[in-house]
Amino acid sequence: MSGVTGSHKGDALQDQGLLGSRADDTSRPEVVLACLDAGEIADLDPNGWDELSRHALEPNPFYSRGYVLAGLQTIDRHIGLRIGVMTAAGRMIGLFPFHRRGPRGRGIAIAAGNLYQFCGTPLVHRDYAEAVLERWTVAARQGELPALWRFNHIGLEGPLMALWARVLARHGHVLRRIYQYERPRLTYTEGGFETHCRQFVSKTRVKDVQRTIRRLEELGKLRFERATHAADIRQRLEDFLAIENAGWKGRAGSSFLARPQDARFARLAFRGGQGLGTGSGTGIGTGAIPGSATTVTDSLLLDDKPIAVSLNLVAGNTMFTPKTTYDEAYRRYSPGLVLEVRVMQAFFDEHAGSAAANGAAMDAATTMDGHLVQGLWNTTRMMGSVLIGPDRRRTYAQALYESGHHRLREAAKTYLKGYRGLK
């Protein structure tokens, strides 16, 4: 941790407002930065982290406390994860998780983004946003943080990026886009689900879905279930894992259950933090982590048997839908599509007449164009990868390298997909 050494490390964390507060804490108007290594992250003040997640300018459940700590105990144990944490007046106001790529001094910082983190937007408190971004930019310029940063799956439009661009320009920094894509979003519209379908879903698509639902109903009792209680979520999580592993992902070795650490990650991350820590000096307990992103599961049940399940994370007024699976025995009945439609209907039903309906949204948490829901939802958000650094030759050269490397990877994936299709 930069600026903290020896046996006083815990005191310094306490003094900067990163651990639980003391009775004699005093307010500090200036923004204080500390860079923590992996071994110190669990000691961050849980209430401060949760409060920051709730008040972030742009919500990101994949940087919530439970999700990050789940990764640290499993799939992110050996990547050298670090977090730049900012506080003001003892309040956590900024959080930038990252790891380094390349040699120290010449490498770049990569915003945290494991296989299951579908957004790299840092947590920036909405009431201190400009101060946080100013402090981050100065720290990168002066060597307190790495000079070059790459952020993947970050919103390219919105309040955070607009403000960040202005701050960077003031300090002689530039932001270069590496690639971009459209991510589906669903926002509330007056008139409810039926009005939405008339305005945004083609008549042919509506008829296809209705026909598919009728065919499923001929097989048995079909119903939609949303689980919000811990015991129900745990059961549906296990159903998800089993269904996913029985399908093509299991055969390809890419399901959660195909890799023990990935399975453990899923059980920690999507159970609201069950089993994280021991409560002995880690800042976390053995129960669910309050204030972290809330897990919600949606299921399509046929005669009370789940045939499609989605794992969702709620942060702020947005529900992210990162993982969906379906029972391939019912492939011809498109249970995944039917589940998506029922989830949409639940979204409109739950927000009808709500004062918060205008700000409510669903985020598909996709990482490329062309997702199934693109023809069902009513808007998209431009997402992508950016490189941020000083307005110097090295930044532009690195951006060209990153862009070229991305294009080569995508071309290779397209070639391999076509090759496998010929076999």
314-340 pLDDT, tens digit per residue, is 998 999 999 999 999 999 999 999 999
The answer to whether residue 273 scores a pLDDT higher than 90 is no
More confident: 413 or 50: 50
360-416 pLDDT, tens digit per residue, is 999 999 998 877 788 899 999 999 999 999 999 999 999 899 989 888 988 887 777
Categorize the per-residue pLDDT at 76 as very low, low, confident or very high, splitting at 50, 70 and 90: very high
The conformation of residue 359, written as its DSSP 8-state character, comes to G
**Inter-residue contact 91 to 71 (CB < 8 Å):** no
Q: Which pLDDT score, from 0 to 100, does residue 240 have?
A: 99
Is 3.40.630.30 the CATH classification of the domain at 185-382? yes
CA dist list (Å): 156 to 105, 135, 236, 304 = 28, 21, 34, 42
Count each helix (H run) and each strand (E run) in the chain, helices first: 13, 13
The answer to whether residue 13 scores a pLDDT higher than 80 is no
Q: Which pLDDT score, from 0 to 100, does residue 370 have?
A: 76
Pairing of strands 294-302, 305-315: antiparallel
The answer to whether residue 1 scores a pLDDT higher than 80 is no
d(CA 234, CA 238): 6
Q: Which pLDDT score, from 0 to 100, does residue 4 have?
A: 36
Mean pLDDT of the chain: 87
Place of tokens 């083609």: 202
Q: Which pLDDT score, from 0 to 100, does residue 289 have?
A: 43
Q: Which pLDDT score, from 0 to 100, does residue 409 have?
A: 86
Q: Which pLDDT score, from 0 to 100, does residue 302 have?
A: 98
The answer to whether residue 23 scores a pLDDT higher than 90 is no
Residue 41 half-sphere exposure toward CB, CA atoms < 13 A: 24
141-183 pLDDT, tens digit per residue, is 999 999 999 999 999 999 999 999 999 999 999 999 999 999 9
Q: Which pLDDT score, from 0 to 100, does residue 421 have?
A: 58
Task: Please tell me the total number of residues recorded for the chain in this structure.
Answer: 423
CA dist list (Å): 227 to 33, 45, 60, 398 = 39, 29, 21, 45
Residue 213 half-sphere exposure toward CB, CA atoms < 13 A: 16
Q: pLDDT exceeding 90 applies to what percent of the chain?
A: 75
The answer to whether residue 287 scores a pLDDT higher than 90 is no
In the chain, what are the domain boundaries? 185-382
235-255 pLDDT, tens digit per residue, is 999 999 999 999 999 999 999
Beta-carbon contacts of residue 16 (< 8 Å; ≥ 6 apart): 32, 34, 87
Give the mean model confidence (pLDDT) for residues 36-46: 95
Instruction: For residue 209, give the nearest of 194, 220, 189, 221 by alpha carbon.
Output: 194
d(CA 49, CA 85): 10
The conformation of residue 277, written as its DSSP 8-state character, comes to -
The answer to whether residue 113 scores a pLDDT higher than 90 is yes
| pTM for the whole structure | 0.86
More confident: 62 or 374: 62
Give the mean model confidence (pLDDT) for residues 120-126: 98
Q: Which pLDDT score, from 0 to 100, does residue 358 have?
A: 83
**Inter-residue contact 368 to 383 (CB < 8 Å):** no
The answer to whether residue 265 scores a pLDDT higher than 80 is yes
Q: Which pLDDT score, from 0 to 100, does residue 423 have?
A: 52
**Strand, helix or coil for residue 329:** helix
Categorize the per-residue pLDDT at 422 as very low, low, confident or very high, splitting at 50, 70 and 90: low
The answer to whether residue 280 scores a pLDDT higher than 70 is no
d(CA 186, CA 302): 26
Q: In this structure, what token pair is assigned to residue 177?
A: 């886009």
More confident: 372 or 285: 372
Categorize the per-residue pLDDT at 26 as very low, low, confident or very high, splitting at 50, 70 and 90: very low
